[in-house]
Chain A
Amino acid sequence: MDKGSFEVKVGLAEMLKGGVIMDVTTPEQAKIAEAAGAVAVMALERIPADIRKDGGIARMSDPSMIKSIQDAVSIPVMAKCRIGHFAEAQILEALEVDFIDESEVLTPADEANHIWKHDFKVPFVCGARDLGEALRRIGEGAAMIRTKGEAGSGNIVEAVRHMRLIQAQIKELTVMGQDTLMARAKELGAPFHVVQQVAKLGKLPVPNFAAGGIATPADASLMMQLGAESVFVGSGIFKSEDPAPRAESIVAAVTYYNDPEKLAEISTGLGSAMKGLDISEIPEGQLLQERGW
């Protein structure tokens, strides 16, 4: 019997495709998310918009809080650890969370090294802004990639930038000859064997999801049309006026992302979305996406 193999880890990521993973801070929110059709919840003490507002060091959530959410729902429960903080990851694995997000939303613990994720039985998701970053994380054992976007901003512009860039860089690899791939791997700073794999497949070897700034059904549709296979919604649901219908509508928007008539119906009467931030209003050095490499 083979437990915790890379294939088994990617297997769960495959099951989450075409779905919405929602940030929740309480068992009540987790139940709302599950009832709305979320494929998984991300258990965390503060959603990114509040982490941004409150400042200070953001760490892994209290295990009691994670357990209370595991007890509240039947869908997979994810939790975040700090970049490079493998001890937090070990604790999350002991708690049997279903997926670990090595996340730039928390304060990084190691400026040089991300976690060596092959050591774990539990799968990891990591953020990326470009293909090199995505492939470095896959090389370390990530079973799912998501765009970093700009968490807690309610602004889709950064997620779009990251997804477009990753897709363009993938396409570029597919038309390059074998004789130029090593030089490209060097430029990307990416492991050669993963670069070869992407050149052959024309896509990442693990599911590629969107995150960071999704606030409306239209945002979800936009990211799916740009090539995302699922979406994470962080602050966008529980910072909106009426979370339950918004959560349901984003779930429906991921399934019907290329049906504008259906999206018009889905988007109607949801109340106001989270207020959000223009990226230029975020002070220098406070962009979460710049954490990690």
Chain B
Amino acid sequence: MVVKVGVLSLQGDFAKHHRILEVLGMEPVNVRYPRQLDGVEGLIIPGGESTTMTKLIRRNHFFEPLIEFGKSNPVMGTCAGLILMATEVPDARVNPLGLLDITVERNAYGRQVHSFTDALKVSVNQHHTRIPATFIRAPKITALGDGVRVVAVYRDEPVAVQQDKHIGLAFHPELDDVPFFHNILFGSQTNTLIQDQPDRIHAA
């Protein structure tokens, strides 16, 4: 059975996630209507603008169905997705879903000229890797609840976290073709595809 993973496709770089899921042998499904959540086993909330997604989630009656979905299925958020998965966002323009017990500050690294790529060490469930990580007008995780595990740290600050079934990332593995998190969250835990990523930052 091919694993079907939904990608919330209201706005953002959802198509980039498709490619990674396909490489891993999973079937990506665009989710634009709440009813489509019934047909998928996991969900990705992609990068994009969290204010725009908040608006579209509210207008299209996605808020409750997304929270309900997260109770029994894995959800991954990247950048704007991380913001939307938080419990607390000190910005009234965003309505987070509360899937991860964290506080997130939007655009915490500054405007686009401060966006960057750098190498990052990651450890999830005994799997360790070194990946390139691209931060675009990225958010920062400013507070962590008890059940939240930090899986990557950049300059002494948490940039990737896990809480039971869910993973939230301040950066964009989909921009650097890094399948590590998609594989851990939605693939089989013993999948041999999990291995060190070449360090493409300095190789480029």
Contact = CB atoms under 8 A, between A and B. Distances in A.
Interface of A: 1-5, 7-9, 11-12, 14-19, 34-40, 70, 74-76, 93, 96-99, 121-123, 248, 251-252, 254-256, 259
Contacts of A123: 112
Nearest to B154: A1
A287 to B, nearest CB: 31
Interface stretch (B5-13, B20-28, B179-187): B5-13
A17 B52 CA distance: 11
A276 to B, nearest CB: 27
The 7 closest A-B pairs by CB, nearest first: A37-B55, A98-B112, A14-B13, A18-B11, A96-B111, A39-B49, A2-B117
A94 to B, nearest CB: 9
B72 to A, nearest CB: 26
Contacts of A15: 12-13, 47-49, 79-80, 136-137
B55 A8 contact: no
A14 B15 CA distance: 9
A8 B48 CA distance: 14
Contacts of A122: 112-113
A98 B11 contact: no
A252 B113 contact: no
| Interface bracket on B | 35 or more
Contacts of A39: 11, 48-49, 52
Contacts of A7: 117, 134, 175
Interface of B: 9-16, 32, 47-49, 51-52, 55-56, 59, 79-80, 91, 93, 106-107, 110-118, 134, 136-137, 172, 175, 201
A264 to B, nearest CB: 16
B49 A19 contact: yes
A16 B117 CA distance: 18
Interface of chain B, main secondary structure? loop
B51 A34 contact: yes
A1 B85 CA distance: 27
A3 B114 contact: yes
B139 to A, nearest CB: 11
B115 A11 contact: yes
Given A19-B49, A37-B55, A74-B106, A11 B32 contact: no
B137 A2 contact: no
Contacts of A76: 49, 111-112, 137
B172 to A, nearest CB: 7
A204 B10 CA distance: 22
Contact of A18 (B14, B116, B172): B14
A259 B10 CA distance: 13
Nearest to B80: A15
Given A11-B172, A15-B49, A251-B56, A74 B91 contact: yes
30 contacts: A2-B117, A2-B201, A3-B116, A4-B113, A7-B117, A7-B134, A8-B116, A8-B134, A9-B112, A11-B136, A11-B175, A17-B13, A18-B12, A19-B48, A19-B52, A37-B51, A37-B55, A40-B49, A70-B111, A74-B51, A74-B91, A75-B49, A76-B49, A76-B111, A93-B113, A96-B112, A98-B111, A98-B112, A252-B56, A252-B59
